[in-house]
């Protein structure tokens, strides 16, 4: 538990981030949990049990129980106890099999007795404490062993892929000097390393607005190989393509788009998760999975890896010979599949606290405010008799939010403003009230691009957007976000929506969330507080009727 009033609270928060997860964040005491996965991520990043125990011992107000230290040492000690390695050059099967090795007889016997692992592993006849597995099962074996509490240290080699000459420009095509920030370069080097065993795959965690795309391109320039980039939507595909054309020396003809609109495979191809996971019916195969298998990719970049769809995990399990990087602002997954990201994409290789980058001026300062307001009297009865799920929607679509939105916009006459919500009918009402364009999942891509371009150019000051704008949309001048409804308090969504306004600028950013008081929406809002407190942001709560005249 972290006392936020302690003189070392900020220091403690930064020290805990690499190996602990925030669980609860009320006003005075925040609760962190140390989990096996959080410790294994720390171990993969070079932390030792001694370092973590020293941090806890130094910061703790009271002596840490010895059993906690023992558990940390035991849990972290599991990382590296099982190695995945290639066969030697004399092995006739070296191109089709790998070996799972442990020096501990007890671990060997545990795995040999596991019914789960029996279908993947066979005992090597040539060496003790060694199993043989098919190369195609490389990812699946790591998944299954993690579930058994054994993180595998994968030291099998990665293929180089088709070579591709690629360099970053010193001066972008748009005429601006391209400066790679220190943390961006460090993140890329943390992934690529010395290109030896155990490097070349993993996850990089950086705040929205910190330039994860530049990190991806830096990795590409270091590896110089054909690259497949997967991202969340067509707008994000076009942004990646524009950045590649602007900041690298690639000929535009070398960059392909693979979406519902176009299917051009080039040495660098940018695709959406949606097209990759499309299939004609639930029983059919995924026809576009062939893009992974039929081309000589040497690198796969998973943009917004916390949104990686479950079907892509299946093919990612096969892609264990390919260098791969996951880019994300948060490793929180609402489906609890963080372990799959660890096993199949790779452990966390680099992380920087949001507030650290804010303090250095690389992302904007953000003032986060939750505004609570009473439910509209016309909805009180329907709310009272509704089911739990219906209660959330009724509270989220509270008509009393509309005049509050209008008043907040009037208070920010010089800002570029995003009004963000979950429910289309509510968004249509807000857009009509404000006289602003609305972007939803049904808005054609050319129309989306036209609106985004007008917003960037200053021709539009306010736009209303659904959850399609949560991800990978570059709107650098946006400085105010007003969230009128969300997905059941999703921390993942909160990270993305806050990120829309964190691009560096000359003014503070404001992130408002409108919540109907004394309803289930207020309960779900506590999840948002968890995320924001974890990142170091203060989260103010006010009652609208007590503070403002509307």
What are the tens digits of pLDDT across the range 228-260?
A: 999 988 888 998 999 999 999 999 999 999 998
Within a 13 Å sphere around the CA of 139, how many CA atoms are in the beta-carbon half?
A: 21
Does residue 489 register a pLDDT over 60? no
Query: In angstroms, rounded to a whole number, what is the distance separating the alpha carbons of residues 229 and 238?
Result: 12
* Number of separate domains in the chain: 4
Instruction: Please write the tens of the pLDDT for every residue from 16-65.
Output: 888 988 776 666 788 888 999 999 989 988 899 999 999 999 999 999 99
* Domain co-membership, 122 together with 219: no
CATH number of the CATH domain containing 206: 3.40.50.300
Give the DSSP per-residue string, 153-188: EE-------SB----B-SB-TTS-B----HHHHHHH
- Backbone φ and ψ for 147, nearest 5 degrees, come out as -65, -30
- Asked if residue 72 and residue 106 are part of one domain, the reply reads no
Tokens 């950086």 correspond to: 206
Domain boundary among 45, 77, 109: 77
Q: 87 and 196: one domain?
A: no
Residue 169 lies in a domain: no
Same domain flag for 65 and 89: no
Whether 383 and 480 map to the same domain: the answer is yes
Domain that holds residue 70: 2-77
Distance of alpha carbon 266 from the chain centroid: 26
| Pair (375, 515) in one structural domain | yes
Per-residue b or e along 441-462, where b marks 16 or more CB atoms closer than 10 Å to that residue's CB: eebeeeebeebbeebeeeebbb
Joined together, the tokens standing for residue 75 give 């849990």
DSSP conformational letter for 251: -
pLDDT at 504: 61
Q: What is the mean pLDDT of the chain?
A: 87
Boundary residue ending a domain (28, 51, 77)? 77
- Segment 262-276 shows an average pLDDT of 93
- Of 60-69, 401-410, 507-516, give the lowest mean pLDDT range: 507-516
The pTM for the full model equals: 0.77
Per the document, the length of the chain is 550
In this structure, the answer to whether residues 100 and 62 fall within a common structural domain is: no
Cα 341 from Cα 18, distance rounded (Å): 16
Query: Rounded to whole angstroms, what are the CA distances from 544 to 70, 193, 433, 512, 541?
Result: 50, 52, 20, 12, 10
258 and 332 housed in the same domain: yes
């Amino acid at each position: 538990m972290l006392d936020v009033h302690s003189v070392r609270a900020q220091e403690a928060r930064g020290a805990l981030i690499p190996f602990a997860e925030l669980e609860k964040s009320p006003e005075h005491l925040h609760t962190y949990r140390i989990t096996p996965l959080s410790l294994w991520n720390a171990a993969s990043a070079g932390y030792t049990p001694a370092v973590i125990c020293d941090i806890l011992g130094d910061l703790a107000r009271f002596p840490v129980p010895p059993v906690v230290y023992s558990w940390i040492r035991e849990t972290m000690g599991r990382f590296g106890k099982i190695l995945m390695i290639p066969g030697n050059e004399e092995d006739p099967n070296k191109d089709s099999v790998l070996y799972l090795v442990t020096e501990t007889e007890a671990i060997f016997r545990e795995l040999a007795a596991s019914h789960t692992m029996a279908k993947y592993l066979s005992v090597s006849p040539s060496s003790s404490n060694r199993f043989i597995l098919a190369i195609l099962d490389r990812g699946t074996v790591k998944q299954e062993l993690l579930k058994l509490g054994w993180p595998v240290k994968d030291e099998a080699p990665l293929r180089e892929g088709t070579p591709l000459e690629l360099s970053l420009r010193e001066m972008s095509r748009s005429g601006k000097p391209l400066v790679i920030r220190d943390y961006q370069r460090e993140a890329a080097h943390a992934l690529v390393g010395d290109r030896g065993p155990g490097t070349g795959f993993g996850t990089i965690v950086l705040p929205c607005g910190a330039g994860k795309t530049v990190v991806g391109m830096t990795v590409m320039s270091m590896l110089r190989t054909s690259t497949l980039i997967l991202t969340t939507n067509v707008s994000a595909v076009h942004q990646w393509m524009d950045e590649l054309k602007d900041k690298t020396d690639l000929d535009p003809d070398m960059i392909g788009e693979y979406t519902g609109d176009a299917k051009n495979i080039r040495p660098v191809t940018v695709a959406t998760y949606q097209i990759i996971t499309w299939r004609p019916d639930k029983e059919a195969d995924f026809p576009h999975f062939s893009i992974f298998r039929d081309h000589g990719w040497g690198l796969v970049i998973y943009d917004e890896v916390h949104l990686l769809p479950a079907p892509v995990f299946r093919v990612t399990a096969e892609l264990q010979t390919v260098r791969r990087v996951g880019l994300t602002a948060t490793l929180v997954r609402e489906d609890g599949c963080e372990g799959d990201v660890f096993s199949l994409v790779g452990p966390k290789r680099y992380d920087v606290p949001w507030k650290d980058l804010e303090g250095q001026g690389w992302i904007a300062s953000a003032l986060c405010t939750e505004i609570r307001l009473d439910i509209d009297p016309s909805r009180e009865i329907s709310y009272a008799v509704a089911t739990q799920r219906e209660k959330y929607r009724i509270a989220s679509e509270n008509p009393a939010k509309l005049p509050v939105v209008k008043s907040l916009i009037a208070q920010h006459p010089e800002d570029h403003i995003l009004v963000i919500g979950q429910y289309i009918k509510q968004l249509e009402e807000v857009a009509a009230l404000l006289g602003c364009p609305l972007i939803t999942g049904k808005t054609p891509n050319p129309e989306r691009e036209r609106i985004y371009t007008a917003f960037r150019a200053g021709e539009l000051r306010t736009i209303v957007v659904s959850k399609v704008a949560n991800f990978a949309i570059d709107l650098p001048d946006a400085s105010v976000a007003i969230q009128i409804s969300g997905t059941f308090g999703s921390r993942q969504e909160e990270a993305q929506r806050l990120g829309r306004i964190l691009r560096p600028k000359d003014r503070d950013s404001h992130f408002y969330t409108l919540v109907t008081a004394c309803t289930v929406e207020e309960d779900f809002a506590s999840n948002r507080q968890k995320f924001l407190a974890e990142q170091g942001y203060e989260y103010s709560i006010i009652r609208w009727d007590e503070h403002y005249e509307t």
